[in-house]
Amino acid sequence: MYLRPYDHDDPHYVESEQDPIKSGMTVDADAYRIRWMRLKKIECKRTGLPIFVKFGFRDSNPRCIIVSTHPSDF
C-alpha cells in the first residue's frame, strides 16, 4: 500500500518503493519533487529550490513519517 495509490499522474510524483529507516523497519514510501520558496512557504516553479521529499508509513500504524528530504536535481 502506498500513500497515493491512484494518483501517480501528479506532476510532483517520482516513485513508490519500500524503504529501510534507521530503526531497522521497512516502510512503504512515495517520493515527490517540488520547487519550494522557503521564505514565502509556497511552491515556485521558476525560482524555488528543488526539493525531494519522501513520505512513508506502515500498514500497522496510520501515522505518516518523512523518510527523507534533501535538495533535488530536476
Is 7 a member of any domain?
no
Share above pLDDT 70 across residues of the chain, in percent, rounded to a whole number: 86
pTM of the model: 0.69
Binning pLDDT at 50, 70 and 90, where does residue 74 land? low
Is 50 a member of any domain?
yes
Is 6 a member of any domain?
no
Chain centroid to CA 10: 12
Alpha-carbon dihedral sign for residues 67, 74, 17, 55: positive
Q: What is the pLDDT of residues 45-58, one digit of tens each?
A: 899 999 988 888 77
- Residues of the domain holding 37: 13-71
More confident residue, 5 or 17: 17
Cell numbers 512513508: residue: 56
Share above pLDDT 90 across residues of the chain, in percent, rounded to a whole number: 7
Q: What is the pLDDT of residues 1-16, one digit of tens each?
A: 344 444 567 888 888 8
Cell numbers 510524483: residue: 13
Contacts of 4 (CB under 8 A, 6+ apart): 10, 13, 30
